[in-house]
Amino acid sequence: MRLEPIANPTAARRLGLPVLAIAATMLIAMVLALIAGANPFAVLGQIARGALGSKLAILETLNRATPLIFTGLAVAVAFRAKLWNIGAEAQLYAGAILTVVLGTGALGAPLVLPLSALAAMLAGAALLLGPVLLKTRLGVDEVVTTLLLNFIMLLFVSYLLEGPMKDPLGMGWPKSPALIPEARLPRIVDGLRLHWGFALAILAAIVVWVIQTRTALGFEIRAVGQNPEAARFAGMPVNVVLIKTALLSGGLAALAGWSQVAGLKGHLSLDLSPGFGYTGIIVAMLALLHPLGVVVTAIFVAGIFVGSDAMSRAAGVPTYIADMLMATALLCMVLAILLTKFRVVRG
Amino acid sequence: MTEIIDILISASFWAAVIRIASPLILATMGELICERAGVLNLGIEGIMVIGAFTGWMAVYQGMPLWGGVAVAMLAGMLFGLLHSTLTVPFGLSQHVVGLGVTLFATAAASFAYRLMLPEVTSPPKIQPFQPLDIPVLSDLPWLGQALFSQTALTWAAFAVAGIVAFTLYRTPLGLAVRAVGENPAAVEAQGLSVTGLRMGAVMVGSGLMAVGGAFLTLSAFSSFFFEMVNGRGWICIALVVFGAWKPGKAVLGAILFAAFDALQIRLQQTSMGAVLPYQLFLALPFILSILALILMSRRAEVPAALMVPYNKGER
């Protein structure tokens, strides 16, 4: 078999195939439910109810979506330039660390929130700058370096929480001291458990969208991603574009850590992120790297995770079904996108 | 300083080095085969998890130890088939597919483990491979303990490295695999199937990665934990680069790397360990991997067609 480009893919092909990818994922969800000895339709229903079935469930889904919007944007921005940032997990923790450093009394009321956000972004950007410089200067593959940095960063956080950042009142539990109240993100509506981080995440998506569609940098990022040689030939400073992309991407991932600490947890601990950095890759790919699409897919992915937790308690199907579904969705989606542009021909 | 020398001359240290190197050698050989054929396999981390899980589960269900190894290998090849179907004939991004396979395989192992053992809190144990007693050699003073008190799976790891090196450099099949990673069009012109060679290489490589994972459950430890692979797959990718895509150098890299790993575990118990945080020692393997990548970046002989999909008839 070989692939033949399709000159003008029909709308049915461009829309139908991604829908088919989601349908295939649902089918696999049902097969997994059957394997687990549960009723597949009941399992799908319970996931949906667990994610959206009540006001509490919806708020939980949106809260879970917040860090995923940030990490999804971080990945979408980087992947658009074919910069493979798999280190959003580490950048998230870098942001969280700075949020705690500045938010536990070092800064006072009006400044602490914006400055901790800024510092977090700088930390995340700095963390990705290293791998990108290694890529542009020495040709070291950034996938491996950013992946390895995730492990180093988690060990560094573990060291901080048992050493210099240890909460003296933590009863031996490795966590940082709590943020001062002024450093916390307030709730959007009093009494509802949803913080401003969610609104800021949507704002970030809009900003990224504007950057990508309305600025020279956005044009350059796309050009470098599509064909770096052509971009270089056209006189584009490819390495500078990659570095700018990295700063933006690392900064966005760090905001996920900032919003988790300042908005939700109020302190830093080792379970701050159950892999939000990695899940961000799935969120970005499902959104076809579109920044506004990231908001939608982040809520969808968050819903699957929140819904699976609830379903697992009720139906006894392991919660890991959510991770399997997300990985399946990712693989089905990349295949579907390919098939919108190419036709499989025999011979 | 004397503490370090004491560690380096102890036989148990070298026994540990070879033990720690074994799964790295197996998985690094697997990745090396994939990359020599032109396919970067980032599924390695997840495939090692699947190997660790399926191998252990097969033995836990009553299969013999070598049966567990075979099951792990087959499971790895199955994931290799998934990876290579998407990356070779369809030519999808090897980065995205590889990460997808890692996420899927890791989740599948966790899902299956929880399904089969819903209630357990402490992971059940199996009877793992025991060190082989080799007549004469195992009884040698110092050397016997340092080099000749290993399990059969460790011997298999070194044998695999030899077979991979021999096949790649001394057989027509190895020549074809290397050529397909350098110049697939030329291979096609010879009447060989680029798709077949690449998919075969990825499947065999993935099988070896899974056996590397199975080493952890069947030889090193005797039970399965969720986090047990813990980045070893990514380290193996760095080892392939460090070894300049050559089996012999990659084995040396794995041994060097294992030596640092065995050293850091022992240093934690010395006066250094009392001063420095233990996390620094644990981070050492990852820091070393990054340093190795930087060190080798300038002289690495990357296969020319690595990560370049091949579409027949397209020029």
Round to whole Å and give the CA distance between A183 and A68.
22
Contact A327 B311 (CB under 8 A): no
Q: Are residues B237 and B31 in contact, defined by beta-carbon separation less than 8 angstroms?
A: yes
Q: Is residue A42 part of a domain?
A: no
Round to whole Å and give the CA distance between A157 and A98.
11
Total domains present in chain B = 1
Print the domain residue range for B6: 2-117+152-296
Round to whole Å and give the CA distance between A279 and A298.
9
Contact B86 A152 (CB under 8 A): no
Which residue's structure tokens are 């080798």? B296
In chain B, pLDDT over 90 holds for what percent of residues?
A: 72
Contact A282 B111 (CB under 8 A): no
> How many Å is the Cα radius of gyration of chain A?
21
- Could you report the per-residue pLDDT of A160-204, keeping only the tens digit for each? 999 888 988 877 788 999 999 889 999 988 878 899 999 999 999
A151, A162, A325, A340, best to mutate vs chain B, most B CBs in 10 Å? A151
- pLDDT for the residue A83: 94
- pLDDT for the residue B300: 65
Q: Is residue B27 part of a domain?
A: yes
Contact A143 B100 (CB under 8 A): no
In chain A, the residue whose alpha carbon lies closest to the alpha carbon of B312 is A2
In chain A, pLDDT over 70 holds for what percent of residues?
A: 100
Q: Is residue A201 part of a domain?
A: yes
Is the pLDDT at A336 greater than 90? The verdict is yes
A279, A320, A339, best to mutate vs chain B, most B CBs in 10 Å? A320
Rounded average pLDDT over B142-164: 90
Q: Are residues A279 and A5 in contact, defined by beta-carbon separation less than 8 angstroms?
A: no
Buried b (16+ CB within 10 A) or exposed e, A184-198: bbeeeeeeeebbbbb
Print the domain residue range for A129: 70-288
Query: pLDDT category, B1, cuts 50, 70, 90?
Result: confident
Q: Is residue B90 part of a domain?
A: yes
Round to whole Å and give the CA distance between A264 and A267.
9
Q: Which two tokens stand for residue B72?
A: 């792990």
Q: Which two tokens stand for residue B76?
A: 């790895």
Instruction: List B residues 68-97 in contact with A (Cβ-Cβ < 8 A).
Output: 82, 86, 89-93, 95-97
In chain B, the residue whose alpha carbon lies closest to the alpha carbon of A158 is B279
- Check CB contact of B118 with chain A, cutoff 8 Å: yes
Round to whole Å and give the CA distance between A128 and A139.
15
Q: Which two tokens stand for residue A137?
A: 């200067």
Round to whole Å and give the CA distance between A133 and B257.
25
Smallest Cβ–Cβ distance between B234 and the set A139, A144, A163 belongs to A144
Residue B130: CB atoms within 10 A of its CB come to: 10
Helix (H) and strand (E) counts for chain B?
14, 0
Q: Is residue A326 part of a domain?
A: no
Round to whole Å and give the CA distance between B178 and B182.
6
Bigger pLDDT: A174 vs A155: A155
Rounded average pLDDT over A20-31: 93
> C-alpha angle B77/B79/B84, rounded to 5°?
90
Round to whole Å and give the CA distance between A84 and A277.
13
Query: pLDDT category, B315, cuts 50, 70, 90?
Result: very low
Total domains present in chain A = 1
Min mean pLDDT across A4-18, A201-215, B84-98, B243-257 is at A4-18
- Could you report the per-residue pLDDT of A193-242, keeping only the tens digit for each? 899 999 999 999 999 999 999 999 999 999 999 888 898 998 889 999 99
Measured between beta carbons, the chain A residues lying within 8 angstroms of B81 are none
Reference B29, options B14, B18, B44; nearest CA is B44
Q: Is residue B125 part of a domain?
A: no
- Could you report the per-residue pLDDT of A273-306, keeping only the tens digit for each? 999 999 999 999 999 899 999 999 999 999 999 9
In chain A, pLDDT over 90 holds for what percent of residues?
A: 75
Q: What is the DSSP letter of B289?
A: H
Buried b (16+ CB within 10 A) or exposed e, B235-266: bbbbbbbbbebbbebbbebbbbbbbbbbbbbb
Q: Which two tokens stand for residue B217?
A: 């459950």
Q: Are residues B259 and B18 in contact, defined by beta-carbon separation less than 8 angstroms?
A: no
Q: Is residue B315 part of a domain?
A: no
Contact A138 B101 (CB under 8 A): no
Q: Is residue A74 part of a domain?
A: yes
Round to whole Å and give the CA distance between B144 and B15.
9
Q: Is residue B132 part of a domain?
A: no
- pLDDT for the residue A347: 64
Measured between beta carbons, the chain B residues lying within 8 angstroms of A334 are 86, 92-93, 96-97, 100
Rounded average pLDDT over A24-38: 93
Q: Which two tokens stand for residue A270?
A: 């080792």
Contact B293 A134 (CB under 8 A): yes
Q: Is residue A308 part of a domain?
A: no
A143, A148, A286, A301, best to mutate vs chain B, most B CBs in 10 Å? A148
Reference A307, options A50, A114, A127; nearest CA is A50
Side chain identity at A254, as an amino acid letter?
A: A
Round to whole Å and give the CA distance between B179 and B186.
8
CA distance B311 to chain A (A): 6
- Check CB contact of B314 with chain A, cutoff 8 Å: yes
Q: Say which CATH number the domain at B190 has.
A: 1.10.3470
B234, B289, B302, best to mutate vs chain A, most A CBs in 10 Å? B234
Rounded average pLDDT over B224-229: 92
- pLDDT for the residue B313: 64
Rounded average pLDDT over B135-151: 82
Contact A2 B91 (CB under 8 A): no
CA distance B101 to chain A (A): 7
Q: Is residue B167 part of a domain?
A: yes
Distance spanning both ends of chain B, measured CA to CA: 60
Mean pLDDT taken over chain B:
92
Q: Is residue B76 part of a domain?
A: yes
- Could you report the per-residue pLDDT of A240-276, keeping only the tens digit for each? 999 999 999 999 999 999 999 999 999 999 999 999 9
Round to whole Å and give the CA distance between B215 and B231.
15
Which residue's structure tokens are 């970005």? A284
Side chain identity at B55, as an amino acid letter?
A: G
Mean pLDDT taken over chain A:
93
Q: Is residue A124 part of a domain?
A: yes
- Could you report the per-residue pLDDT of B258-304, keeping only the tens digit for each? 999 999 888 888 888 788 889 999 999 899 999 988 988 776 678 88
Smallest Cβ–Cβ distance between B115 and the set A139, A155, A318 belongs to A318
Measured between beta carbons, the chain B residues lying within 8 angstroms of A156 are 279, 283
Round to whole Å and give the CA distance between A296 and A245.
23
For the purposes of burial, counting CB atoms within 10 Å of the CB of A336, is it exposed (0-12), middle (13-18) or buried (19 or more)? Answer: buried
Helix or strand holding residue A345 (H, E):
strand A342-345
Q: Is residue A122 part of a domain?
A: yes
CA neighbours within 13 Å on the CB side: how many for A216?
A: 4
- Mention every residue, 6+ apart, whose C-beta is less than 8 A from residue B52: B72, B109, B213, B214, B216, B217, B224, B228, B229
Measured between beta carbons, the chain B residues lying within 8 angstroms of A323 are 103, 106-107, 110-111
Helix or strand holding residue A323 (H, E):
helix A321-341
Q: Is residue A342 part of a domain?
A: no
In chain B, the residue whose alpha carbon lies closest to the alpha carbon of A162 is B277
